[in-house]
Amino acid sequence: MPTELEESRKKKIVVVVQEIEMGCDRMEEVEIFDNSKIGVKDLVNSGITSIPKIFIYPSENLSDLKVAASCMEIPTIDLSNINSEDQRVNIVNQIKDASETWGFFQIINHVMPMQVMNETISAFKCCREQDDMVTYFNNQILSNAKAVNWKDSVIAYITPGSGLESYDGIPTGCRKELMLLDNYIVKLGDILMELMCEGLGVEPGKLKALTCLESHKMNEVSGLQVKHGQEWVEVKPKDGGIIVNVGDLLQIFSNDLYKSVEHRVMANSSRDPRVSIGVFFSPGKNGDKDYYGTLVELLTPEKPALYRTFNMGEVRKLVKASDSGTKELVDLFKL
């Protein structure tokens, strides 16, 4: 039987949905939703039978929406033999090729135990607490987006240099699992950045010093799609697999040798929630006087830098101002 508190919250959600549908304009509707502090999970649990209009993109934005190609997959790379000299060369070449042509790849047989990943995903499904150092949000820039994202998110700042003194700021519902996951993620990030450095022909620790990679772990519910040429390719998560996204910063640091590509997540009819744990290895120095740019080892008179230098303050401002909430650093920092 639902508790009195649950029944009260359910009634509140019904009222909020009615107010949204009666709103005079989009900004008013978004403000109603934002002030309510309810999330997508609350909406689903309330038993709604239709999606509120603020989550639906305008028809003009959907007219050119292409269906993902079913005959292609992003590269899958097996890391089980990275300590074998011969096999390591092959793995480096695979990562180099995937980074140059796809901008995404999936790794298997890595250092992250499957049990750790599965337990973290399960914990996040139940995690709804909030804390000063953990941000729970539905969408970063509701006022700018053409539609509110159909998702709930929890952001935890837990890596060195983030300002978090301990793990106390992480929601208790997933604290233990996230602490353990973080230990393995740091190790995996170091390994990947070494391999990507070898592909660029620079010192193995160069990217680790900058930290600029992105990785994702998804449950079995699909939705992530990657643009390859003019086609959209659906990412099919493999057992124990982790998706690696090159990202804008690494394209800039590599002077366009590695590529950042457009990607999206599509809603589907599955009743099971799609859970994705995204990890961002961002540059550790965030001061306005700390500037980043293309690795000098990659520059020659014939191949000068394609991007200007920048600091992370600029990056944050540009991401916040973006209409869709996505990064456009490659275009904005191009010389």
Delineate the domains of the chain, giving CATH numbers in brackets. 25-60+69-285 (2.60.120.330)
User: DSSP code of 273?
Assistant: P
Q: How confident is the model at residue 163 (pLDDT cuts 50, 70, 90)?
A: very low
For residue 132, the model assigns a pLDDT of 44
Q: Which of 148-157, 214-223, 233-242 has the highest mean pLDDT?
A: 233-242
For residue 139, the model assigns a pLDDT of 47
Across all residues in the chain, what is the average pLDDT?
Answer: 80
Specify the higher pLDDT residue, 10 or 212: 10
Q: Which of 181-190, 232-241, 250-259, 274-283 has the highest mean pLDDT?
A: 250-259
* Residue type at 70 in one-letter notation: S
Mean pLDDT of 44-62: 78
Beta bridge partners, 263, equal 226
For residue 81, the model assigns a pLDDT of 93
Q: How confident is the model at residue 144 (pLDDT cuts 50, 70, 90)?
A: low
Q: How confident is the model at residue 267 (pLDDT cuts 50, 70, 90)?
A: confident
Structure tokens of 125? 């499904």
What's the pTM?
0.84
C-alpha count within 13 angstroms, C-beta hemisphere, residue 38: 24
User: DSSP code of 69?
Assistant: B
**How far is C-alpha 19 from the chain's CA centre?**
32
What are the start-end ranges of the H helices in the chain?
A: 4-21, 26-36, 40-45, 59-62, 85-101, 114-126, 175-200, 206-210, 247-253, 312-321, 329-332
For residue 203, the model assigns a pLDDT of 92
How much of the chain, in percent, has pLDDT values that exceed 90?
30
Q: Map residue 278 onto helix, strand or coil.
A: strand
State the first-to-last Cα distance of the chain, in angstroms, to the nearest integer. 62
Q: How confident is the model at residue 294 (pLDDT cuts 50, 70, 90)?
A: very high
Mean pLDDT of 127-155: 61
For residue 90, the model assigns a pLDDT of 97
Q: Which of 71-75, 156-160, 287-291 has the highest mean pLDDT?
A: 71-75
